[in-house]
Structure 1
Amino acid sequence: MELCQKSAQYGADQELEACCELMDRDFMAGPSELRSARRPKPPSLKEQALEQLDGIAAVFRMTHG
């Protein structure tokens, strides 16, 4: 299963690079934006922790006024 996932990701990465090269060649702005949209970074552990704390704080405010 992991081999299938890596193969699919490799193909998608090749497609993404081709799109970015085309955008660079045609002087269009946005290859980095395209790359970010196609392969967004997952939230960092810090961002995940802060989201959890926000949720806990919201529940606390609702239950304790």
Structure 2
Amino acid sequence: GSRGSRGSRGSRGSRGSRGSRGSRGSRGSRRSVGHVGRVCQAGPTPSAKASSRASSRVDRGLSQ
């Protein structure tokens, strides 16, 4: 029970988080590269952080 629960959670959590973040992160980075490059002066750091956090939350909800 303890092993199964940990193994299942660990495997799903690690794979889901890495896979979802990696795939969405790469796509988002490519598309946002243009916007970030232009809005770089305005400071796209908060937007990027917000998007990453939102995506992570969505990925967790879908994975569960």
TM-score per shorter chain, which class? 0.3 to 0.5
State the TM-score, normalizing by the size of structure 2. 0.46
Bigger Rg, structure 1 or 2: 1
Structure having the larger proportion of residues in helix: 2
State the TM-score, normalizing by the size of structure 1. 0.45
